Amino acid sequence: MRYTALPFPLLLLSQAVNSHGLSIEHIEVNGRETRLIGEAISASNGIAGQDEISTRPMLRTGEVLELVPGMVVTQHSGSGKANQYFLRGFNLDHGTDFSTTVNGMPVNMRSHGHGQGYTDLNFITPEFVHYIEYNKGAYNALQGDFSTAGSANFYLTPGLQQDIVSVEAGENNYLRTVAGSTLSFDDASLFLGGEFNRYDGPWQDISEDINKVNGLVNYSQNTGNGSVAVTFMAYDNSWNSADQIPARAVASGLISPLDSLDTTGGGESSRYSLSVNVTEGDFYASAYLINSDLDLFSNFTYFLDNPLQGDQFEQVDRRQITGGEAGYHFSASPGKMDWMHQIGIQVRRDDIDEVGLFNTQARQRTGTVRSDNVDELSVSVFYQGDYLLNGKTTARLGARYDYLTADVNSDLAANSGSADDGLLSLSAGLSYIFTPHLEGYVNAGQSFHSNDARGATLSVDPQSGDIADPVDLLVRGNTAETGIRYFDSEVLNLSASLWWLELDSELLFVGDAGNSEASRASERFGAEIAAYYWFTEQLSVDVEVALTHSRFKGSEEGEGNRIDGALGEVVSAGLRWQFAEGWDSTLRLRHFGPRTLDSYGDVESSALTVVNAQLSKRLQNWTFTLQALNLLDSDDHDIDYLYESQLQDETAAVEDIHFHPIEPRTMRIKAAYRF
């Protein structure tokens, strides 16, 4: 059976299409899915289930994405905002060039107030994730905007095997409660879940004062030849921020690594969504409605632009997203060749009521940099076909066409206008089963990321008033990969790949400044290996290594060819030992290598190495869990930047490294009851 990355309605029911026809097989994903010989589309795609999610000690919700081998998840500000993501040599910022969906709904935000592709995963409750399907590279025609480096599709549980109530507590006033219950009927089920989280954080001069509430209602019903699923999600959060700080302020003793220079940063965020997914035979359709709000206050340069009131600014984003997808599967077998086809259409509209950037002091507005409303509409059609050439060889061909149009209504008339663009993206792959335990892959594909619509209609810099050049609305990316996957019973699972990726231009709207920047074309290549070994059913180890070389192409006066923030090496390793009846332990190491912080490579960030541990004991319906996060109490940095800032007692700008420390060692204990 060849695993096919199908849209949400089929995946929600854990179904897959057999490459020999349309017969349906049931797939149950618990831990990491390892038996992918003859099923995976490349050496670097995979599936991780709830069993593995539950054994990962995590400081933040967003770290669930580190189940994607080679992915790095950090934070440079308050815990309530989207994380920073790194993969395949990209500093993905908050999500550009990596696409994320939840139950078929897009998470990446276009033309967002804090940055293009903004991906906030705080509305997800990890206990309610059934499994994650991930792809690296652009080899799947179903994936479009933001997916050049890869994608992750989250599928929430339609119902837990056992109802659950849990309470988790820890240092710095950490409190988290989760409850979930499934009501079953003849041909239907109703899942109700909720999460509440409070946390003050370890910072010495502020309390994060996180107040997060998540809600999930999931109704699923079989209809004989298909299914209907309705999902409602709710998220609301408020917090104070501990932003990155300049190294010189720490070195001089002005502040400690756990202090801030502006203690009034923070924000509020909410997300409410309703989605409907229908399958009927070989046809599927989905629709969604999302309402998202963000108010974010930050200060990264302190007194550089405004020596009297400071440089704090507010970023605002309020929008409604509507859209959906429809598709059809069919097969044909001319001669001796088996074909499996999938065609479909995807539609998305972002109705952005307000996206703005304001000058503030202590969260009070003192001026407007720019304020806009934006209407973006995209229509995409795709085709993907699997061709079984013989019993060992499968070819995959894909094509999609994306059209994006945007209207910008700006407070500065010169920056109002319309833009549109379209791209045809092609992909192809070939896999060959050498033995029942070994399969090889060759893949190539095209993808893209959209740029902020405000950058595409820009003519005047809103801060300086200078003439500004607009950017392209869509930016092409090309990827290629070759690799192998080896699986030997339940002893060893190994995948290795060599990959290459180029972007026509790393064009991004800079949300912190309110203007756009166009950089050169870029090229990246690298090697990845992921190995999972089971000594016994009770003892297993995993090691993931990703090495990347990243450079700008061509030359530019006054600039080098290094890509700022590109991450060259990632190592992740874990040991899981179920050493006695009911006892389960996990020890994990994460190492992120240094990153160049300037285009010449003269300044590098520090490396980050952190060890997390988890120990749990199950007693009948009870499970007790102890977590030690940053077990060795490392004082490494979550993230480093190089830029100019000015402290209150300074008379000129100073270029300096600005960093956000990882949180000191923290202990948490959890009690969960299942019934």
User: pLDDT by residue (tens digit) across 621-652?
Assistant: 999 999 999 999 999 999 998 999 999 999 99
Provide the terminal-to-terminal Cα distance of the chain, rounded to the nearest Å.
36
- Judge contact between 109 and 117, C-beta under 8 A: yes
Q: Please write the tens of the pLDDT for every residue from 220-229.
A: 999 889 999 9
Is residue 72 assigned to a domain?
Answer: yes
Closest CA to 597 of 247, 306, 214: 247
Is residue 1 assigned to a domain?
Answer: no
Q: What is the DSSP letter of 393?
A: E
Is residue 454 assigned to a domain?
Answer: yes
Between CA 627 and CA 282 the distance in angstroms is 45
Is residue 132 assigned to a domain?
Answer: yes
pLDDT at 15 over 50: no
Between CA 241 and CA 175 the distance in angstroms is 18
Q: Please write the tens of the pLDDT for every residue from 515-532.
A: 446 678 899 999 999 999
Beta partners for residue 302, in sequence order: 646
Domains held by the chain: number: 1
Between CA 260 and CA 139 the distance in angstroms is 43
Is residue 46 assigned to a domain?
Answer: yes
- Judge contact between 163 and 192, C-beta under 8 A: no
Closest CA to 332 of 389, 387, 397: 387
The percent of residues in the chain predicted with pLDDT above 70, rounded, is: 92
Q: Please write the tens of the pLDDT for every residue from 43-56.
A: 999 999 999 999 99
Closest CA to 310 of 299, 325, 324: 299
Between CA 21 and CA 332 the distance in angstroms is 8
Q: Please write the tens of the pLDDT for every residue from 261-286.
A: 999 999 999 999 999 999 999 999 99
Closest CA to 667 of 636, 625, 637: 625
Is residue 76 assigned to a domain?
Answer: yes
The predicted structure's pLDDT at residue 401: 98
Between CA 589 and CA 575 the distance in angstroms is 9
Read off the CATH number of the domain in which 293 is found.
2.40.170.20
Rounded to whole angstroms, what are the CA distances from 305 to 312, 355, 479, 515, 641? 10, 22, 41, 16, 18
Is residue 2 assigned to a domain?
Answer: no
For residue 454, the SS3 value is: helix
Q: Please write the tens of the pLDDT for every residue from 377-408.
A: 999 999 999 998 888 999 999 999 999 999 99
For residue 429, the enclosing domain spans 8-674
Is residue 3 assigned to a domain?
Answer: no
Residues 6 or more apart in contact with residue 185 via CB below 8 angstroms? none
